[in-house]
Chain A
Amino acid sequence: MDVTIFLQLVISGLLIGFVFSLIAVGLTLIWGVMDILNFAHGDFLMLAMFSAFLMFANLGVDPVFSLPVIVGLLFFVGLLTFRLVIKPVLGYHALIALLATFGLSIFIRNVVLFFLGPDFRVINQSVLAGKRISFLGLHLSLPQLVSAIGCVLITYVVYLFISKSKFGRALRATALDKDTALLMGINTNRVFALTFGLGAACVGAAGGFLVNFYYVFPEVGLNFAILSFVIVALGGFGNIGGAFLAGILVGLVENIGGFFVGPEFKYTLVFILYLIVISLRPKGLFGW
């Protein structure tokens, strides 16, 4: 087979994989600290994309420039979710928090459906739209390239923040042993709130990039959410580095596998990979 085609597939896989990674990092962060799987994660993505779309359609703000606003907005959505949905059920069975986020997911989707309708929307006149870079017979769409680079950078910054800063240390301590963290003077509820904010900001950034080349509709988050659950499990629950690598892996499998086996099977391949890995290593590829 043609090397160029293969390279093209690898590149496409990497480009979307980096976006998957950032989405999954947001999810795994929340899981790692609170043991809560946020079922509304995909809807956060959708909210971010719709916010960018509305800012573009109504105010003419290019998604490249609305990105910081979207990230801030989603951070706030995360904080609010913790305060209103998670905090009231903390201390009860973990299943309750999970079901609460499930309810939140349905709520967000239906509110958006009610006000904005089910239509697909695209931003096709942004600064980046339609541009591509070509070299050696390979084609890179500029929106995808910018998104991938942006997502990698943000993932790296989040990683540094968690592993080097004082807050990151407090966050990891809280994740390991909440009671002892409290004894160390850490306000663990504040850590929880900020973690939720941070996780939502990650998926917000991913949405803000994604909107440059992906259509927007109320259910857009579903596929991404399911993929990010798979990525989080593959990477080892709560493991940021693992989520990063697993996201890339899923991007590659989806693209390369989809090409050889047929695009209608690309998710099947991802889930087969998932089943194989989980049966061999229940804690994921990089879980401890």
Chain B
Amino acid sequence: MLKVNDISVRYDLISVLDNVSFLVEEGQFVAIVGANSAGKTTILKTLSALVSAFQGTIEFFNERIDHLPPYEIAAKGISHVPEGRRIFDKLTIKENLLVGAHVRDDQQDVLETLEEMYALFPILKQRQTQKGETLSGGERQQLAIARGLMAKPRLLMLDEPSLGLSPILSNKVIHTCEEIRRKGTTILIVEQKVTEVLKLVDRGYVLQRGQIIMEGKGEELLESDLIRKAYLGL
């Protein structure tokens, strides 16, 4: 469904992504793993058109999307849960969720999805009338994911959802992603928590200094020498 071909990105002439290519098939759970500054966030921002690539193409369901503005990409069904959650602090939790459904027209349907989100994340229902700023880090992440799902996306992109969470909590978030995938949403996740993520995903890509240096099934990558040495310190 998503086909990224040879994209390269520079910030002020400094190359950040260098001929990056990867594929996400419908229904898959795909991860891009890499260390700090590898360029993970830049990949997602490029897909969402917050950053523009100077070369390469991006196809979504066989249609070029690399020249569309961000809001049209969202309307095509790509939801981007950004790094650092980026909750709208001064909006209530319910309003945050409804903004997530901005691209949808049928308000009745939207309210149904809202109830689904409340079922998936009960804390959000309890706190729905409170401002986003009152949430803790873990709750914010739940809200950010739920807000992304409110669009009923065909592809959900998550930028380090485990960032800043305790190991238990980050495991829980990553397992929630797995649950969401089982319900039928395709997921592209970028993460530093290599082990937890690679255990669960169908396909993984390893990004190092802006280049994809390895790809394969999640389990296979975990077994590989490179991952074991570079990321797990074994």
| Residues of chain A having any CB pair with chain B under 8 Å | 166, 169-170, 172-173, 176-177, 179-188, 288
Contacts and interface: CB of A to CB of B under 8 A. Distances in A.
Given A172-B90, A176-B89, A182-B50, 5 more contacts: A176-B91, A182-B70, A182-B74, A184-B99, A188-B71
Contacts of B147: 184
B80 interface: yes
Interface of B: 48, 50, 69-71, 74-75, 79-80, 82, 86, 88-91, 95, 98-100, 102-103, 147, 151
Contacts of A170: 99, 102
A239 to B, nearest CB: 11
Contacts of A166: 98, 102
Contact of B50 (A172, A173, A183, A186): A183
A173 B103 CA distance: 14
Contact of A185 (B74, B88, B91): B74
Nearest to B151: A185
Which of A173, A177, A180, A183 gathers the greatest number of chain B CB atoms within 10 Å?
A: A183
Given A170-B99, A173-B99, A183 B91 contact: no
Interface centre among B74, B103, B151 (most CB of A within 10 A): B74
Contacts of B69: 182, 187
A187 B70 CA distance: 8
A284 to B, nearest CB: 16
Contact of B102 (A177, A186, A288): A186
Contacts of A173: 88, 91, 99
Given A182-B71, A183-B74, A183-B80, A177 B86 contact: yes
Contacts of A169: 91, 95, 98-99
Contacts of B103: 184-185
B74 A176 contact: no
A23 B98 CA distance: 30
A166 B102 CA distance: 8
Contacts of B75: 185
Nearest to A175: B90
Nearest to A172: B91
A184 B102 contact: yes
A177 B85 CA distance: 12
Among B69, B71, B80, B100, the one with the most A-chain Cβ atoms within 10 Å of its Cβ is B71
30 contacts: A166-B102, A169-B99, A170-B99, A170-B102, A172-B95, A173-B88, A173-B99, A176-B89, A176-B91, A177-B86, A179-B50, A179-B70, A181-B99, A182-B50, A182-B69, A182-B70, A183-B50, A183-B70, A183-B74, A183-B79, A183-B82, A184-B99, A184-B100, A184-B103, A185-B71, A185-B74, A185-B102, A185-B151, A186-B71, A288-B90
A187 B71 contact: yes
A180 B95 CA distance: 14
B68 to A, nearest CB: 11
